[in-house]
A and B are shown apart, each in its own frame.
Chain A
Amino acid sequence: MAPAQDDIDALIADFQKSDKDEVETLIDDFSKQEGEKLEIEEKEETLLKEEAKDTEDEVAGEKLKGVRLPPQEHKVIDKLDEINKESEEKVNRLFEKLEAISAEVDEIEGLIEDIKPFVKKHKEFMDFFVEHFPKTSIKNNYEYFKNIMNILDEIENKVNSVRDNTFEAMEILQFQDITRQKIERVISVIQALRDYLNNWFASSYDNVPRARVAHTIVDEKEKEKVDKEVEEIIKQMQRGEVK
C-alpha cells in the first residue's frame, strides 16, 4: 500500500529535520574546525610576522653595521660653530705673528733710517777726499764703502718686500670671514631643517642669536665684475637713476 500524503509529508519533514540537524552538526563541526584552523593560521601569521620583524631588524642591523652614529655631544650645528670659532682663533694667532713680523720690519726700517744720515755724511766726506786726494789709500776704502751702501739699499728693498708680502698675507686672511659666512649659510639650512622637524614632532629648543646669513658670496672669479657693478650702482644712485 502506497503511503498516504500525510505520511509522505511526515517522512519528508523527518528527513528534512534530520537533514537540518545533520547540517547544523556539520556546520558546528565546520565552524569548530575553521575556528581551530583560524587559530592555527593566526598563530602562524603571528609567528611569520615575528619572523619577518626579526628579519627586518636583522636587515636594518646589517644596514647599520659599519655606520657610526654620531655621539650625543657631536651635534652638527655646535660642531660647525666650533669649527668657525677655532678657525677664527687660529687665524687671529696667525695675524698676531704677521703683526709681529710687520712690527719687526718697521724696526729694521727705523734702524736703516737712523743710519742713513750718517752714511750720507760719510759718503760726502769720502767724495770730498777722493776728489781732492785721489792718490791716497782712501780710494780703496771708498770702493768698500760704496759696496756697503749698495748692500744697505738691498736690505731696504728686501724690508719693503717683506712688508708688502706681510700685508698681502693679511689681506688673504679675509678668506676666513668669507668661509665663516659660507658655513653660517650651511648652519642656517640645518637650522631650517631642525625647525621643521621640531615643529613636526612638537618639540622645543633654545635658539642662539645669529647674524643674518649672507645671501650672496662672490666667487673670486667674479669679484672684478661685481666691483664694477657696485661702482655703477653707486653712480646711478648718485644720479638719481635708481628709484
Chain B
Amino acid sequence: MKIITIDDSSTMRRIIKNTLKRIGYGDEILEAENGKEALEILENNPVDLIITDWNMPVMDGLTFVKKIRSNSKFDDVPIIMVTTEAAKEDIITALKAGVNNYIVKPFTPQVLKEKIEQVLGLKD
C-alpha cells in the first residue's frame, strides 16, 4: 500500500511514518511538507491513502483537500486529516471539503490504525 503523509513538521512526518510501519502500513510512504508539494508528488505517484495536516504554509491541508476532490484523477483517494484543530465547526468544514476521517493530535497508533481501516472499508 502506497501512502503519502503531508505535514510541515518533519517530526510529525517521522512519527506518522514510524507509526504506519508499526501498524503494518509501511510498505511505501511518500512525504510532503505542504499541499502544493503533495500535489506535485501525486501527479506522478498515485497513492492509496492520503494523511494530511491542516495548518501548513504555502498550501494548507483544507485547500489541498479541495483541490484533490476537484480533480477526477484523485477524487476517490481516501483522506485522513491529522491536525491540532479540535473545534466542531473545523471538523465539519474538513469533512465537507472531502476528508474521509479526522484525527486530533496527539494520536496513538491504535487510533491511526482504526481510522485507516475505517476509510479503507476494512472496519465499520
Contacts and interface: CB of A to CB of B under 8 A. Distances in A.
* B partners with A: yes
A95 B58 CA distance: 26
B11 A237 contact: no
A83 to B, nearest CB: 14
B101 A174 contact: no
The number of chain B residues touching the other chain, given as a range, is: 35 or more
B60 A211 contact: yes
Interface string B50-74: 0000111110100000000000000
Interface string B90-119: 111001100001111111110100000000
Contacts of A217: 84, 86
A73 B65 CA distance: 39
Contacts of B15: 95, 170-171, 173-174
Identify whether the interface residues of B are mostly helix, strand, loop, or mixed: mixed
A117 interface: no
Contacts, number: 108
Interface string A156-181: 00000000000100110111111011
Interface string A208-243: 011111111110000100110110011001000010
Contacts of A178: 84, 105-106
A214 B106 contact: no
Interface of A: 88, 91-92, 95, 99, 102, 167, 170-171, 173-178, 180-181, 184, 209-218, 223, 226-227, 229-230, 233-234, 237, 242
Given A102-B18, A167-B19, A227-B111, 10 more contacts: A88-B9, A88-B11, A167-B109, A173-B15, A175-B106, A177-B12, A181-B55, A215-B85, A216-B86, A217-B86
